[in-house]
């Protein structure tokens, strides 16, 4: 439901500051496989602009091109920071479809945190779930 920031009622936050409730635009997109989580690309690859014709919104976080799922788009920089900054420790849930079945050692490595180029991700809760009904093949 759209909210007009000029007429929205302020609310009190835990810090005591006042702000407009739900001010700004927030879009939820089920990002398709093969699409970059950005609006421009010098190499002509598929990107969000092909699916979102709304000005001045940007993804709060990202999914790799070879991933699909929920992407939150907003013009609210504070909301983007609360979603993406490790400082806020917002838990996120990912379902991964993999080839084969990972063993206990592989799950333990993932749970300990993944080493990336410039940092190691936080430890995670990892578990195998049953294949959901209607899951499309990869």
- Provide CB contacts within 8 A for 10, sequence distance 6+: 18, 19, 20, 21
* 120 beta partners: 115
This prediction's pTM = 0.69
In this structure, what token pair is assigned to residue 127?
A: 């578990």
Domain with CATH 3.30.70.580 in the chain: 20-89
Burial string for 100-133 (b: 16+ CB within 10 Å, else e) reads: eeeeeeeeeebeeeeeeeeeeeeeeeeeeeeeee
67-81 pLDDT, tens digit each: 999 999 999 999 999
5-56 pLDDT, tens digit each: 445 444 444 444 444 444 478 999 999 999 999 999 999 999 999 999 888 8
User: What does CATH list as the number for 20-89?
Assistant: 3.30.70.580
Question: Which pLDDT score, from 0 to 100, does residue 138 have?
Answer: 66
Q: What residues act catalytically?
A: 64
């Amino acid at each position: 439901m759209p909210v007009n920031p000029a007429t929205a009622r302020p609310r009190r936050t835990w810090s005591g500051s006042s702000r407009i409730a739900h001010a700004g635009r927030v879009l939820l997109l089920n990002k398709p496989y093969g699409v970059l989580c950005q609006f421009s690309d010098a190499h002509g690859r598929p990107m969000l602009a092909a699916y979102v014709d709304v000005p001045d919104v940007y993804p709060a976080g990202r999914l790799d091109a070879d991933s699909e799922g929920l992407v939150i788009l907003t013009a609210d920089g504070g909301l983007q920071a609360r979603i993406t900054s490790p400082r806020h420790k917002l838990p996120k849930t990912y379902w991964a479809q993999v080839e084969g079945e990972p063993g206990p050692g592989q799950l333990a490595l993932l749970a300990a945190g993944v080493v990336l180029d410039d940092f190691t991700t936080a430890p995670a809760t990892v578990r195998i779930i049953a294949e959901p009904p209607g899951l499309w093949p990869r």
